[in-house]
Structure 1
Amino acid sequence: MAGFGGPSVPGPPAALWKRHIMRQLQQRDRTQKALFQELVPAYNHLLEKAELLATFSEKLRLEPSNVTSAADDEGSWEEESRPDSDQVPSPASLKVKWQEEEEGLRLVCGEIAYQVVEKSAALGTQQLLLEERQGRLAALEGRVAQLQEARAKQAQQVEEQRAQNVTKRAAYEVLRVRTGEQEAELRRLQEEASHLLQRLVQLKARAAAERNLRLERRQRASQAQVSQELKKAAKRTVSISEIPDFLGKAIREGTETLALAAEPGSLESKACERWKRPFSFKKRRGHSIGGVPEHRYQSIPVCVAAQLPSQALDVLDAHLSEVIAVRFGPNSNLLATGGADRLIHLWNVVGGRLEANQTLEGAGGSITSVDMDPSGSQVLAATYNQAAQLWKVGEAHSKETLSGHKDKVTAAKFKLTMHQAVTGSRDRTVKEWDLGRAYCSRTINALSYCNDVVCGDHIIISGHNDQKIRFWDSRGPCCTQVIPVQGRVTSLSLSNDQLHLLSCSRDDTLKVIDLRVSNVRQVFRADGFKCGSDWTKAVFSPDRRYALAGSWDGALYIWDVDTGRLESTLQGPHCAAVNAVAWSCSGSHVVSVDQGRKVVLWH
């Protein structure tokens, strides 16, 4: 075995613990030796001083006898030198002083030895603390290594995500460019279609004019032939019974021709009339162009004066989740509500309370809009499952599903013509439907998200996400007018006389548009009124005197349409944003629904 401080000699595995102990002892020896390197020289220096003092004391013990003999021989010298001898200390005083210094040195040595013991104890404590901190340092270094590894992984993921973002951004730019090209191509095709339609009209008009000329020539030829036959017949005498059939026909045609000739300008008026009406379209149910609808709903009695609501009569938690849509029937006693729970509830308004009538099931998604036809026998709802559905009052399950949109349907309204409806969707289209065959008779590309639609006699009005209201003639293919507003349009309401339009938008304003001059007549604002969502609905009163809307804080705001003044503010039952409101056709009740499942009946 090697010496205590020498190098270790490799041995069998069983002696590994011995070498470990030796290394630990060597480490402790080096550590303690380093700590005592300063104390040992000081202690040796003190010992050297003690030896010098001991030698000096021995010399002082021998010096008193020599000093006494010298005093006897040289007494006179002592007397002469006494002033100087007073300045040299005596041996006794030196001995006392040496003893005092020796005692002090002993005390110092004792104190130093005590300090050495204390330092040794403190050294052990510091050694334990050092070992503890070294252990913590090792643990922290391991933790730092783990965090650095995790940071490297996160940095790699960030780089990968950045690369994906760059790729997606490039793909988005490509799609945006492609969309721009497609929109430009669409506009070009629309312009080309418009030109082709104008050209077709011109060709039809030209063909009609040519046909009129050919008819006029044929009539003139027939007239000339009849004149010749009459001249021939006038030269001979025959009985009336012997007139041939062809001659009677010719006489009748000639008589008609002469009658037409007797009326100056009759042929020209006929030709002009045919020029003005070169061709006509056949009437079709659901999409008639240039003709009067065959069947229309009976007119609804007009409300003379609506009553301002002032108090809540009934409050119900009507649905399992948010209530989005509400609509009164034409008789003001039937109410329909639709919500995010995919259900439509029908309610009877009896004695100032809402009584459950029926639940319509089968909707494929959340209800976004509800409408009842003017007869009160059918319910039409727009849903999130890219379709609109039709129910018959009294039947629980859906009668028809109007599918064809590519995104959620946000609005569905009946037209005044029977068996026809209009829907608007987030896929930027407005569709007209023949409800008798559940067939889409027309698709209108609106170029923006459609949030709501309303229908007049021959007009469709749509409100869009690009802050515009568009007007479409149901008898023509193109948009007839665009009115810009400030803010995304959330709802539209058409007055019963179809002369005024009420719009609600996300700029927290309501606007009344006079359709006779296509101009904004009034803008309604109020402190505290905020449009709570993209489907917040506002309505006219039945007599068009008031405008009603719900705010994000659950309050209802009513404005006077003629003066623009805030007429009333209703607060209380609603604790969440009001999604939609409805005013009964009789003008006596108002119903509001909110995001907190509440349906409130006001009077």
Structure 2
Amino acid sequence: MAGSGAPCGPAARWKRHIVRQLRQRDRMQKALFLELVPAYNRLLEKAELLAKFSEELKLEPNSVTPVTYHGSWEEHSGPASEQVASPASLRAKWQQQEEGLQLVCGEMAYQVVEKSAALGTLQAQLEERQDRLAALEARVAELREARARQARLLEERRARNAARREAYEALRARAARQEAALRRLQEEARDLLERLVRRKACAAAERNLRNERRERVNQAWVSKELKQAAQQIVNINESPDILEDGTREETVTLTPAVEPDPQESETCEKWKRSFRSASATSLTLSRCVDVMKGLLDFKKRRGHSVGGSPEQRYQSIPVCVVARLPTGVLDALEAHLSEVNAVCFGPNSSLLATGGADQLIHLWNVVGGRLEGNQTLEGAGGSISSVDFDPSGSQVLAATYNQAAHLWKVGEAQSKETLSGHKDKVTAAKFKLTKHQAVTGSRDRTVKEWDLDRAYCSRTINVLSYCNDVVCGDHIIISGHNDQKIRFWDSRGPQCTQVIPVQGRVTSLSLSPDQLHLLSCSRDDTLKVIDLRVSNIRQVFRADGFRCGSDWTKASFSPDRSYALAGSWDGALYIWNVDTGKLENRLPGAHCAAVNAVAWCYSGSHIVSVDQARKVVLWY
């Protein structure tokens, strides 16, 4: 079955297998016929012998010669017979022998039939196996053809793979060149940015130097004016003169503080003039007060300014004397398309902002105990994680998950500024008490200070852990982090001034209006009040059933700092008394999901809570 050429490995294997199967079948069938063939041969011999005996018995008795059958008679008669038997006895004896031979022939014929049937069965099996062998040979031929086709396809695919590999290598080389070009461009951009920062720093230093020189000149001039004013004496005539129009006239005389020499008496006479008392007072007292205020303001600006520019603080910040504990629900509605993450009241306590995962900020008016839609702010581009009003109530700042914070002006639907620069989700964004300044915290382990006039990051603080929330004081920034620590930063210094460890990841921070106490909420299901005067944890609030529902659960002080408010995972609100440390009230039933954030209005009359089930609830 081998071909002319040397067969390949698989073909040689199946050929050897077929040969082994044929040899095994030959041995099996040969074993079946090993006993049948000799028995059949013996049967044929006996049949021939019987036929010969039958022919001899048919002959006449006279024709039988004693010599011919002498040997046979001696063989069948036994050694005891000494005389020759008669033909009749021989015929009877041969008949008996013939019957015995017929019986033997019948048995042999029966065996022949059985063996013939077995042989037919074996021949049928042989034919069946030959048919199967032919089918297998046909199948082998088909498989050979399929193998040849697959080999051709394999060669084609190898060729295509080789071509694709060459194209991939070319693309890799091109990508490497482009990456190198990108790195060069990034380095150039970094160099340009560093040069720009250096130039801005130089320009700021020059501007500061010019301002200082100008202020020094103004100080010198003011000092000179003060010295000249100090050398003059203001004499007020207490007896007023009555003018023709009925008005009084008080005379003020300016005289030198040191008496002049006699030679200079004529010169000093020209300094003695009469003025109205109001004019004289405004010339001296008000001028001195203005000058002193200017000096104090200059010193303050020198100590707390950034880049030499004076800090402008907001004129008025609302103050609450007594906050009222909420007892019931005024209004509840589904405000957003998905969960609501942040809520904040405006300074006038009648404007409310909510932000959610639907990338929208809704402004609401609190009118007659109900929430009425005011405006929708768009353009965030990501889930809202924090919202805040500036102290004037004219701007809204929001932190989003698209690595940026957005600034809106109340009354304008589209974003006014985008504060981009973070490399991960921005989790907190708060206004500072000075105008046009804000602070953001992010999961990229940085806290950034922003100049809102130019949408420029004025400072970047690198931290070792995720930042979950920030609050701002006069000149301090406080950040809560995922590593269970609260960090304090001075706006005028580069380093961290203090670190307070707490148990559990910090989820939110709330600064009291007097900036003397800090409320923190953490994942150990507790609220902590930190006294900033001694930098120590003053109280720890916990309650049965209270649990933080997420890493961004927000807690809040009441505007008079008498109460601490937080929402739990079961939808209930918990209110603690800051002075006594006891749980003051628990408000269940309004929410059916975890509460994400709460806010207490500045007037102290209402609170608002938002949850993960898109609901906003107003409490009274």
Structure 1 residue 373 corresponds to structure 2 residue 390: yes
Pair 1:302 & 2:321 matched: yes
Aligned to 1:396: 412
1:503 aligns with 2:509: no
Q: Counterpart of 1:431?
A: 449
Structure 2 residue corresponding to 1:454, chosen from 441, 447, 471 = 471
Per-residue deviation, 1:373:
3.5
Residue 318 to residue 73, structure 1, CA distance change in 2 (3 Å)? closer
Query: Distance between the aligned counterparts of 1:107 and 1:134, measured in 2?
Result: 39
Secondary structure of residue in 2 paired with 1:330: coil
Inter-partner Cα distance in structure 1 for 2:30 and 2:313 = 125
Q: CA shift at 1:541, angstroms?
A: 3.4
Residues 1:568 and 2:574 aligned together: no
Contact 2:572 2:586 in 1 (8 A): no
Structure 1 410/119 Cα, relative in aligned 2: closer, same or farther at 3 Å? same
Rounded to whole Å, the distance in 2 between the matches of 1:140 and 1:503 is 74
- Name the aligned partner's letter for residue 360 of structure 2: L
Q: Residue 493 of structure 1 corresponds to which residue in structure 2?
A: 510
**CA offset digits 1:271-313 (Å, max 9, x no partner):** xxxxxx9x9354799869999976531432233332255xx55
Residue aligning to 2:216? none
1:516 aligned to 509, 527, 533, which one?
533
Distance 2:612 2:569 in 1: 10
How far 1:550 sits from its partner (Å)?
4.0
Q: Does 1:463 align with 2:480?
A: yes
Q: Which amino acid aligns with 1:463?
A: G
Kindly report which structure 2 residues correspond to 1:45-60, keeping only aligned pairs within 5 A, or say none: 46-59=36-49
The separation in 2 between residues aligned to 1:455 and 1:101, in whole angstroms, is: 122
State how 1:91-106 maps to structure 2 within 5 Å: 91=97, 94-106=100-112
**Count of residue pairs the alignment pairs up:** 476
Contact 2:430 2:472 in 1 (8 A): yes
Question: How far did residue 478 of structure 1 move?
Answer: 5.0
2:115 matched residue in structure 1:
109
Deviations 1:33-64 (A, max 9, x none): 98456536854763443232232344466399
Distance in 1 between the 2:41 and 2:426 partners? 112
1:187-202 alignment to 2 at 5 Å? none
Question: Is the contact between residue 453 and residue 460 of structure 1 (CA under 8 Å) also seen in structure 2?
Answer: yes
Between the aligned partners of 2:587 and 2:507, the Cα distance in structure 1 is: 21
User: 1:537-592: per-residue Cα shift (whole Å, max 9, x none)?
Assistant: 222234445433345665655555543659537356444x5432223345454433
Give, as a single letter, the amino acid of the residue that structure 1 aligns with 2:318. S
Identify unmatched segments of 5+ residues in structure 2: 5-16, 58-68, 84-95, 177-219, 225-257, 272-295
Aligned partner letter, 1:424: T
In the alignment, the residues of structure 2 paired with residue 331 and residue 579 of structure 1 have an alpha-carbon distance, to the nearest angstrom, of 23
Contact 2:320 2:559 (C-alpha < 8 Å) held by counterparts: no
Q: Distance in 1 between matches of 2:449 and 2:584?
A: 36
- TM-score, normalising length from structure 1? 0.60
Task: Name the structure 1 match of 2:354.
Answer: 337
For residue 378 of structure 1, report the CA deviation from its aligned partner.
3.6
Tell me if structure 2 keeps the 8 A contact 1:456–1:498. Answer: yes
In structure 2, relative to structure 1, the CA distance for the partners of 1:471 and 1:105 (3 Å cut) is same
- Using the size of structure 2 for normalisation, the TM-score is 0.58
| Residues 247-283 of structure 1, C-alpha deviations (whole Å, 9 max, x = no match) | 999xxxxxxxxxxxxxxxxxxxxxxxxxxx9x93547
Work out whether 1:536 is the aligned partner of 2:553: yes
Give the corresponding residue for 1:123. 129
Identity %: 49
| Shift in CA distance, 357/140, structure 1 to aligned 2, threshold 3 Å | farther
With 560-569 and 506-515 compared, the bigger mean Cα shift is at 560-569
| Equivalent pair of 2:343/2:610 in contact (CA under 8 Å) | yes
Spell out, residue by residue over 1:63-91, the C-alpha distance to the aligned partner (whole angstroms, 9 max, x if none). Answer: 9976668888986669xxxxxxxxxxx73
Aligned match for 1:328, one of 342, 345, 348: 345
| CA-based RMSD | 5.9
Cα 1:544–1:122 shift into 2, 3 Å: farther
SS in 2 for 1:446: strand
- Give the residue type in structure 1 aligned to 2:319: I
Residue of structure 2 equivalent to 1:346: 363
Aligned CA distance change for structure 1 residues 354 and 130 (closer, same or farther; 3 Å): farther
Question: How many angstroms apart in 1 are the aligned matches of 2:22 and 2:473?
Answer: 104
Whole-Å separation in 1 of the counterparts to 2:336 and 2:19: 85
Taking a change above 3 Å as real, the CA distance of residues 128 and 484 of structure 1, as seen in their structure-2 partners, is: farther
Q: Distance in 2 between matches of 1:340 and 1:378?
A: 21
Deviation at 1:453, TM superposition (A): 2.1
Whole-angstrom distance in 2 between the partners of 1:533 and 1:140 = 62
Q: CA deviation at 1:431?
A: 1.4
SS in 2 for 1:501: strand
Deviation at 1:325, TM superposition (A): 1.8
- Measured after TM superposition, the shift of residue 389 of structure 1 is 0.7
Equivalent pair of 2:433/2:473 in contact (CA under 8 Å): yes
Cα distance, 1:295–1:580 mapped onto 2, change above 3 Å: closer
Which SS does the other structure have where 1:300 is aligned? coil
Query: Aligned in 2, Cα 1:359/1:6: closer, same or farther, shift over 3 Å?
Result: closer
Cross-structure match for 2:236: none
- The answer to whether the Cα contact below 8 Å between 2:610 and 2:617 also exists between their aligned partners in 1 is yes
The aligned counterpart of 1:472 is: 489
Alignment match, 1:582: 599
- Match for residue 197 of structure 2? none
